Amino acid sequence: MGFLNLNLPGRKDLKEVLEKDWEKIEGAFSSFVKRKGEKYFFSGKVIATDITKRDARFRSSGQFAKFYSINVVYDRDSLLSMCTCPSDPPCKHIYASLLILKRKGGPEVREILMRLNREELMEILLDHLSDEAKRSLIEGPWNTLREAQRHGDFQPLIDILPFVPVIYESFEAQLFVERAIDFFMEMNIPCPHTVSLALKGIVRRKEDRVHTLLRIHEMLASRECDLPDLTFGDLLTEEERKQAYTEGVPYDLLRAEGEAVPEDFLFSSADACLDHLLNISTPEERVRELAKECIERFGLFPPLVLFYLQVGGEPKMALKLIASRPKASMLLALRGLVPEDTFRELEKLLKVLSREEYALYVAESSPEDLLKLKGEVDEEVLKGLVLNNADRLGEAALPLLKEEILKIASGKRWKLYPKAAELLKTMRKISPDEYKETLYYLKDRFPNRRRLMEVLEKLEN
C-alpha cells in the first residue's frame, strides 16, 4: 500500500500546505516516481472524486485492480496520504493526486460543460476554453490530430476531445476518437480521461444508443485503452441496458454510477466479478468461493488471483500465476499475499524471467545487488535502474551518477539539464563533498553554457 506521512506543522488547510511546503513534499518522492506521477497527472489517469479544505479523495486506473483509491488528509500538523496500490513507498498515484490539488483543486471546466445539452454547450463553448483549445476547435479537430501527429504536441488534442460529439455526427465523432486513441497508443501515452467524456457524449447524442455502444465496445476491445471509470449505465434505459448486455456488451460498461453488480451479471467477465467482490459485504469464505469459481471460468486474471490470495485463497494459485506470467511486477505484488515458504518457491521461478525482468525485480527487492548484474543485463537498462535507485544504493551509485551528469553537460541537448539537476540533488544527499566537487567542475568546464549555468545557480539557491 502506497503511504506518505510528513510532519508539516502550522498550516490551516491542504491549500496552504501545498503552497508553502511543496519542496518538502517533493523530497519524499524519488525522481522516477515523480516522472511517472506527472505522466498520470497530465494524461488524466487520476481523477478527483471529492475535495474539501482538509481532505481529498481520488481514483486511479490500476495494474492489479480495476482502480486504486487515494486519500490525502492534513490533520494534526501532518500530511497523510494512502493509496490502495501494492507499492510500499510513496507512489506515483499519490504524487499525481497532490499535483491535482496543487495545480487544479477542483473539477475541470470540460467536465462541467459535458453536463449541458447541445444547444447550451454550443452557446458557451468558446467562452470557456483556453485560447489554444479554442483555436484548435475553430481550425477543426482533424487538423489538431494531424498537428499532434506531426509535432508530438498532444495537449490540444486532449483538451478538445470532449467537444468532438458536438461538432461531428456520431459516426464521424467515433471515427475521430478511434484515430485519437491509435495516436495515444503509438506515442505510448495512457488514454486520457477526456476519451471517456467524448465516448459518453457520442452515446448521449445518438438515438440508437445500443448499436452505438456495441460499436464502441468492439473498438475498445480491439485496443489496449485503459478507461477504468467509463460506464454508460446512467445514459441508458433499463431496457437498453438489458438489450446491450444480451448482445455482448460487458456489464462493466453498463453499470450506473455507484451501482453494485447484480448476481445475474456476476460472471459476465472476470473484471466484473472482481468489481462485484470488492463492493459486497459477504462472509470471506463465500467471497473466496466466488473468486475461485471465476478464476476457473475465465483463467488466471491477475487482479482476481491477487484478490483471491488476499482473502485466504490457496497459495498454489500464486505458483500457477507466476509460472504462466513471469513478470517481476507480478512476483513483487505477490509478496505479503502468500506464506513465506510459498514465496520462497516463487523466487525459485526467477530463472524463467528474462534478464531485464530479473533486474526489475532486484531493483525493487534488493537494489544493493543491482551492480552485481553488470555484464548480465543490457547496459542501458541496468544504468536506468541504478540511476532511478541511486538514493537507495548510496555511494556505490556515485560513479554512474557523475558519469551521467557529465555526459548531459558535455552534450548540447539543453532540455536534459533539469535531469542533470535531479541527479545532482541525489548526489548531494549521498555525498555533499562529491556533489560540491562535481558542481565546481561543471562551472569551470562549461562556463559559456548559459542555460546550464542557470540550472546550476538555481540548484544552489
Percent of the chain at pLDDT > 90 equals 5
User: What's the chain look like in SS3?
Assistant: CEEEEEECCCCCCHHHHHHHCHHHHHCCCCHHHHHHHHHHHHHCCEEEEEECCCEEEEEEECCCCCEEEEEEEEECCEEEEEECCCCCCCCHHHHHHHHHHHHCCCCCHHHHHCCCCHHHHHHHCHHHCCHHHHHHHHHCHHHHHHHHHHHCCCHHHHHHHHHHHHHCCHHHHHHHHHHHHHHHHHCCCCCCHHHHHHHHHHHHCCCCHHHHHHHHHHHHHCCCCCCCCCCCHHHCCHHHHHHHHHCCCCHHHCCCCCCCCCHHHCCCCHHHHHHHHHCCCCCHHHHHHHHHHHHHHHCCCHHHHHHHHHCCCCCHHHHHHHHHCCCHHHHHHHCCCCCHHHHHHHHHHHHHCCHHHHHHHHHHHCHHHHHHHECCECHHHHHHHHHHCHHHHHHHHHHHHHHHHHHHHHCCCHHHHHHHHHHHHHHHHHCHHHHHHHHHHHHHHCCCCHHHHHHHHHHHC
Angle formed by the axes of helices 379-388 and 398-410, to 10°? 110
How high does pLDDT run on average in the chain? 78
pLDDT single digits (tens) 223-260? 767 776 788 888 888 888 878 877 777 777 887 766 66
Identity of the amino acid at 217: H
Highest mean pLDDT among 36-45, 216-225, 431-440: 431-440
pLDDT, tens only, 315-348: 878 777 777 766 666 677 777 777 877 777 777 7
Split at pLDDT 50, 70, 90, the class of 98 is very high
Q: How far apart are CA 344 and CA 349, in angstroms?
A: 9
Q: Which residue has the cell 517481476?
A: 328
- Rounded average pLDDT over 102-127: 51
Closest among 279, 244, 274 to 258, alpha carbons compared: 279
**Number of other residues whose CB lies within 10 A of the CB of residue 161:** 28
Q: Which of 40-49, 69-78, 123-132, 316-325 has maximum average pLDDT?
A: 69-78
Q: Which three cell numbers stand for residue 396?
A: 556505490
Regarding predicted confidence, which is higher, 196 or 2? 196
Q: Binning pLDDT at 50, 70 and 90, where does residue 59 land?
A: confident
| Residue 118 or 371, more confident | 371
Task: List phi, psi (to 5°) of 225.
Answer: -105, 110
Give residue 129's pLDDT. Answer: 61
Residue 135 CA, distance from chain mean position? 29
C-alpha cell recorded at residue 336 = 505479503
